[in-house]
Amino acid sequence: MSEERPSGGERAALPAVGSHIRDRRQSLELSVRELARRVGLSASLISQIERGKATPSVATLYAITNELGLSLDELFSEGATAPASTAVGAFADTSAGPTQPGAQTRSNGSAPEEPASRGRVVRPAQRKAIQLLSGVRWERLTPSSDPNIDFLFVDYEPGGASCDPGVLMRHAGREYGYVLSGTLEVTVEFETYRLGPGDSICFDSTSPHRLATVGEEPVHAIWFVVGRSGDTRLS
């Protein structure tokens, strides 16, 4: 797997992600060099990611979290939030953002909490997000941690991809995707599919695969990954 290097300010780093990775690595008593050897990256890159000085790609983040037995949902945990004003790339807790059109407000201007939606509904401005290298953004659609499924709104910018051209990634679990807008090219093993609005796909994540935007329009999609942390076929 090739290295992803710091983007020179084009993308902000992920200090919260790096902190979670470092804590997990240390709890397993792994050195930076040993983790780097296991995932095929340089020790300096692992160190930069842990210190929030480098932004990983989708493939790199999957490789590290799979090796550490760390779920994506744990990266979205409450300890990994940052104010909405933080530069893109930090975990964004935008619950303090603007209220939705038509929402009622309290006398102090904030939107009242709906008792029936507490712990069930996630408003767009409340999603926690991760901005990754190569033009990929994940927004969590669950209101709290769910260890059994990654339920995400994914945004691929023009030119965005899960990994470098000619490279395929694999990890535990099974994926289900539904494209809302744009054109997404999905390669699974030796087959390549182009998905447009309304198209859906499912495949075993242990099969080598790559996702990439086609054309100048960004891709918006809904994505599920089930069983990523419980699949032992990649052990």
DSSP state of 151: E
When pLDDT is averaged across residues 4-24 and rounded to a whole number, the result is: 59
Please report how many Cα atoms fall inside a 13 Å half-sphere around the Cα of residue 208, on the Cβ side: 8
CA distance 155 to 219: 6
How high is the pLDDT of residue 177? Answer: 98
Domain that includes residue 82, residue range: 15-95+120-226
pLDDT digits (tens, 9 = 90+) for 180-199: 999 999 999 999 999 999 99
Q: For residue 181, what is the domain's CATH number?
A: 2.60.120.10
Measured distance between the N- and C-terminal CA atoms of the chain, rounded to whole angstroms = 17
Percentage of the chain lying above the pLDDT 70 cut: 71
**Residue 34: inside a domain, yes or no?**
yes
- Report long-range pairs for 191-194 (Cβ below 8 Å, ≥24 apart): none
Q: Pairing relation of β-strands 174-181 and 191-195? A: unpaired
Rounded to two decimals, the pTM is 0.62
Q: How many domains does the chain have?
A: 1
Whether residue 192 lies inside any domain: the answer is: yes
pLDDT of 13 above 50: no
Under a CB-based contact definition with an 8 Å cutoff, are residues 219 and 179 in contact?
yes
Kindly state the average pLDDT of the residues 215-231. Answer: 85
Highest average pLDDT, of 24-38, 47-61, 96-110, 138-152, comes from 24-38
In contact, 18 and 49? CB cutoff 8 Å: yes
Give the separation between CA 131 and CA 121, rounded to whole angstroms: 22
pLDDT score recorded for residue 74: 72
Examine residue 194 and state whether it is found in any structural domain, yes or no: yes
Whole-number mean pLDDT of the chain? 76
Q: What is the pLDDT of residue 228?
A: 66
Largest CA distance in the chain: 59
Residue 112 lies in a domain: no
Among candidate residues 173, 190, 123, 187, the one with its CA nearest the CA of residue 153: 123
The pLDDT assigned to 58 comes to: 83
- Other Cβ atoms less than 10 A from the Cβ of 136: the count is 23
Give yes or no for residue 81 having a pLDDT over 50.
no
Q: Is 90 exceeded by the pLDDT of residue 96?
A: no
Confidence at residue 133, expressed as pLDDT on a 0 to 100 scale: 76
- pLDDT given for residue 181 in this prediction: 98
**Highest mean pLDDT: which range of 25-34, 73-82, 116-125:** 25-34
Q: Is residue 182 part of a domain?
A: yes
pLDDT at 211: 96
Which residues are 191's β-sheet partners? 188
Query: Is 10 part of a structural domain of the chain?
Result: no
CA distance 51 to 44: 11
- Classify 203 as helix, strand or coil: strand
